[in-house]
Amino acid sequence: MPISSSSSSRKRKNKTPLDTQSKRQKARLSLASDEAGIVLVLGQGELGQLGLGEEILERSRPTAVKKLLEVEFIQVACGGVHTVALTKAGEIYTWGCNDECALGRDTSDTSEAEYLPGLVDGLDNVKIIQVSAGDNHTAALADDGRVFCWGNFWDNRGSIGLNLAGKQPRPIVMLGDPNDPVIKIGSGNNHVAALTANGLIFTWGCGEQGQLGRVAERFCSRDTRQGLKRFLQPAVARVTQRSKKDIRFSDIFVGPYNLFAVNAAGEVFACGLNNYGQIGNGNITSLYYLAKIDSLSALNDGNDERQILIASGEHHTLILARNGRVYSIGRGDYGRLGLGPDVKECSHPTEIETLANSDIKAVTCGLAVSFAVSNSGDVYSWGMGTNLQLGSSTDDDILTPTLVKTKESYNFFAASAGGQHTAILGKKK
């Protein structure tokens, strides 16, 4: 049975140009953290996504994954109900639901294999520098610019496969041009985007909501003449349907059903689902090709050395602006915007003033939850409390950013949220 992170936000009470001297160029965009630490998890773990074993299926406070205490990690990515963690040495550990092969390894040996971390198969002698995760798939970027994927994609009618051959239980190469290596990847629920060194964005997967940025609305069904080939073969996202020139980009951010991109001038573009105005174009019309978003571009203006960072949930978006302030936009119920009890929806980026003096360096979203990480090593959370993802002692919703507390003292430096769980990287003080 497929896992959809969008189905896991129910209230728990109702449970349910380039140097080419080497054969392949090394990816050059800074992806994972320069820091390394241990993995801590919290939330719901009925399908093994906490990695704490079969007996521990829920945690309301950040809890260290004991099997991995001796391993240094630089990035973690939460899928719908699986977790992917990247080590300082470039190896990948996975745990959680493997029904659709999202773990990239054989878990048939024991009943507990999905509930405990294990190394991904088939990546010997490959150094991975970034990972991403969706509902039922995982993607990994190697230091030579190749993109590996495994698992499966789904659309609203069911399985569409990871590629034309179907679901893939082990890593396969999806992109790998040595003359234009990929430098950053991102996963939505059922799509992947990859930014190349030459500034092109390749996308593949489900495109029903416009998230691929290259398929017109009338062609978004698998029933068209090209069938699934149109979606599953990586192709370049475009700014307009008739664009004859490839706009070059310098960064990408991928949400569950959308894609954000930044060009060299600092202008922000977006496409995908917009039913709550979450891509910031001032209306609720979804976009099937990348379009410039003035409201977000304005937040990337200025002389500050930092660059804009964007994170999306299902129906909301967080922006860490160039000035260091955090803004939110989109659907506001359960407190996911962090703007207090009176804001149910927001059609323009609005500053979360309670974070103004917190020196935030990163933001991330789950389905209906939000997180911010500060330069001082703190994590703030807000949004739906149902799945215990927020690190409070209850399942109450949190309407404004609140400090995540732990029994032991940690310097946190990265976080990721999935459908029902959260993972954080940190070091003991």
Domain boundaries, the chain: 35-428
pLDDT (tens digit per residue) in 187-214: 999 999 999 999 999 999 999 999 999 9
Note whether 203 and 191 are within 8 A (CB): yes
Q: What beta strand segments (E) does 32-87 contain? A: 38-44, 58-64, 73-78, 82-87
First to last CA, the chain: 42
pTM of the model: 0.92
Distance of CA 356 to the CA centre of its chain: 24
Question: How far apart are alpha carbons 127 and 141 in whole angstroms?
Answer: 9
Q: How confident is the model at residue 31 (pLDDT cuts 50, 70, 90)?
A: low
Percent of the chain with pLDDT over 90: 85
pLDDT of residue 305: 77
Contacts of 312 (CB under 8 A, 6+ apart): 253, 254, 255, 256, 258, 260, 278, 318, 365
What pLDDT is attached to residue 4?
Answer: 57
Q: Could you give the angle at the alpha carbon of 124 between the alpha carbons of 129 and 200, nearest 5°?
A: 40
Please give the pLDDT value at position 426: 98
pLDDT of residue 221: 76
**What values do phi and psi take at 199, rounded to 5?**
85, 15
**pLDDT value at residue 227:** 79
Closest of 255, 262, 361 to residue 311, by C-alpha: 255
Domain 35-428 bears CATH identifier 3.40.30.10: no
For 13, the token pair is 């009470």
> Which of residues 25 and 74 earns the better pLDDT score?
74
How far apart are the C-alpha atoms of 88 and 70, rounded to whole Å? 12
Whether 69 shows a pLDDT value over 90: the answer reads yes
Cβ(5)–Cβ(313) under 8 Å? no
Tens digit of each residue's pLDDT (9 = 90 or more) over 241-278: 666 666 799 999 999 999 999 999 999 999 999 999 99
Residue 225: pLDDT above 80? no
Distance, CA of 29 to CA of 236 (rounded, Å): 19
Percent of the chain scoring above 70 in pLDDT: 91
Q: Where is pLDDT greater, at 34 or 124?
A: 124
Residue 281 tokens read as 């174009």
Instruction: Give the pLDDT score at 255.
Output: 98
The mean pLDDT of the chain is 92
Q: What are the tens digits of pLDDT across the range 388-429?
A: 999 998 999 999 999 999 989 999 999 999 999 999 999 998
Residues listed for the chain: 429
Question: How far is it, in rounded angstroms, from Cα 198 to Cα 92?
Answer: 27
Grade residue 304 by pLDDT with cuts at 50, 70 and 90.
confident
